[in-house]
Structure 1
Amino acid sequence: MPTAKDFGTRAHHLSRSRGPLCAGIDPHGALLQHWGLDDDLAGAERFAMTLAEALAEECAFIKPQSAFFERFGSGGVALLERVIAECRRAGALVILDVKRGDIGSTMAAYAQAYLDPASPLAVDAITVSPYLGTGSLQPAFDLASAHGKGLFVLARTSNPEGKQVQMAKRRDGKSVAQSVIDEVEERNAGADPMGSFGIVMGATIGACAAEGEARLRESTYGITHTTASQRDSAHDLSQFNGPILVPGMGAQGGKPSDLPRVLGAAASFAIPSYSRQIAQPGPAVASIRAAAAALQDECRSAMGE
């Protein structure tokens, strides 16, 4: 059974007190330039540490994108370690966006790098890719369980290219994305208030037409036709009991009103993620906080909180 140390329990309670918003820290070259900074390690440090100062005591979730730090080499990784430490010290739960996915000892090494408390890169949760098979992520599931950490498994991402793989149909008629959702769902069985294993569902995938609802229409009314939009976005989240990281918000086109439409009843588990829309008002700390607070209120309203 979950305890107060489990990621799912901590995420549930902190999102209720601070709000569901996840603030990204992405030292992208264009954002550094927007702030009047050079696209180098010093600029990335000013950018990242300012966002950490502005947001880590205000938001429940902070999500650094590892690639934007890694591009500066060892100095960038050292900066990422500082950002993680500062955000966790301020009470935020850090979700590191690394999208790791491999097999055997390599996956175990990735898990150790980010989920072992002894690692300088240890965070509260990471994003992982299941497209070598969800079972290939077992070392990450095991280490996360051992240390009360979380995982967010890519299910239906906001990029249009993802549909080719994620919405491919298996022999049983279930989409690849739905099979990922179902496998993660099983790992959260019995968790209260929610499990520690989440999924990633992009805000821009379109209106939600849950597979369960489609089956109900068919059995009740004999209706089998669905639109292309419905077929592309049909997912059954009715039994899902874990956090749902929702990228694609803000600059990519996702809006708070998309949360109940895309996730249905599971919108209460949403962690809507914004990066550029929060960072653009900077570098003034007060402006960044005001932008985050406004988005927090919009998301809470859309989620019925």
Structure 2
Amino acid sequence: MHPADALDARIARTGSIACVGLDPRPDLLPAALAAPHRAASLGTDAVATAFIEANQRVIDAVADRCAAVKPQAACYEAYGLAGWAALEATVRHATEAGIPVILDAKRGDIGSTAAHYGQMAFGGAPDLDGEACPGMGADWLTVNGYLGADGVEPVLAAGGGAFVLVKTSNPGSGELQDLELADGGTVADRMADRVAAWGADRIGDCGLSDVGAVVGATYPDHAVALRQRMPDTIFLVPGYGAQGGSARDAVAGLRADGRGVIVSSSRGITGAWRGAGTDDIGAAARAALDAMNTDLDAAR
């Protein structure tokens, strides 16, 4: 199924535009969850198995009320092979639950290297007999598009969707992305134009492209302006909650039909147990997601 169609259908089915970030860290694990894994093994294996359990509990708790999940690859890669196995297990569990997966890896390279990044996320790398190997099983991959078309198109050729960095939520994003160009507009504006062009012939039945854009909630005025440049693009919006973006900020880039935006929250959901007075990471995540959905619905 076309990635944008699948995501749009999921939003219609759940009524949610929330994306749950699965960015585990040891200090985000309840003690009661971590203790058995610490007792059973040491080092990276203990961390990885604890990550798997925590993620599975969260996924099970939010499966019927979110648009997507977004594991941050770096959180897993830091733990080597064990962490990579935890990422694979997490993606598989989400997929089996019917949730679209956005692999947040922000890859950026050209040619065959970009193609390999796509094959990592979506599958298709050849084995020794020339048969296609399975990839991570993600539906979307975040991509750094500042190398140009030859860093994006090979990823798309692997069969998934790409969310391309356009206007990111971090305070330093303006150092480059807000630079004014001699012929008008900013660097982010020019990237938005490229995203729209790359996705122009990749629009699904829902009217949205599988070349999306990362547009931070911390810059709502930019989101409004960028929507004019990318009318058929899904915005992946980080920066809500812990980074300071409000619900109104997060939905600033919605299309006139109320579609085209998904809003990400990570530790605000997976770390919600810390302020809820419970070690039940799943129940706390579900309650936090319900509150986020209510907040976003009111803003919409």
The answer to whether TM tops 0.5 is yes
1:161 to 169, 172, 177: 172
* SS of corresponding position for 1:237: helix
CA 1:237–1:115: 2 relative to 1, 3 Å: farther
Residue 295 of structure 1 aligns with which residue?
A: 292
Give the CA deviation at 1:60: 2.2
- How many residues align structurally? 272
2:95 to 88, 96, 101: 88
2:142 to 121, 124, 127: 127
Q: Which amino acid aligns with 1:180?
A: M
Q: Considering only aligned residues, what root-mean-square deviation do their CA atoms show, in Å?
A: 2.3
Q: What is the 5 A alignment of 1:144-223?
A: 147=159, 149-189=160-200, 191=203, 192-193=205-206, 194-208=208-222
2:226 to 227, 235, 238: 235
Q: What is the 5 A alignment of 1:89-108?
A: 89-108=96-115
1:180-219 deviation line (CA, Å, top 9, x unaligned): 1111112333634211110000111243485xxxxxxxxx
CA 1:44–1:112: 2 relative to 1, 3 Å: same
Distance in 2 of aligned mates of 1:30 and 1:245? 26
Partners of 1:201 and 1:244 within 8 A in 2: yes
5+ long unaligned stretches in structure 1: 211-233
* SS of corresponding position for 2:259: helix
* Higher mean C-alpha displacement, 65-74 vs 252-261: 252-261
Quote the sequence identity (%). 33
Q: Which amino acid aligns with 1:158?
A: S
Distance in 1 of aligned mates of 2:230 and 2:136? 33
Distance in 1 of aligned mates of 2:254 and 2:60? 32
Residue 6 of structure 1 aligns with which residue?
A: 2
* TM-score, scaled relative to structure 1: 0.81
CA 1:159–1:239: 2 relative to 1, 3 Å: closer
Partners of 1:198 and 1:244 within 8 A in 2: yes
Partners of 2:165 and 2:213 within 8 A in 1: yes
Give the CA deviation at 1:16: 1.4
Give the CA deviation at 1:150: 1.0
* TM-score, scaled relative to structure 2: 0.82
Q: Which amino acid aligns with 2:183?
A: D
Give the CA deviation at 1:128: 0.3
CA 1:120–1:138: 2 relative to 1, 3 Å: closer
* SS of corresponding position for 1:200: strand
Distance in 2 of aligned mates of 1:270 and 1:51? 22
Residue 11 of structure 2 aligns with which residue?
A: 15
1:91-146 deviation line (CA, Å, top 9, x unaligned): 10000100000011111111111122642412100100012224422201222xxx
Distance in 1 of aligned mates of 2:79 and 2:266? 20
Q: Which amino acid aligns with 1:15?
A: I
1:16-35 deviation line (CA, Å, top 9, x unaligned): 11111100111123313677
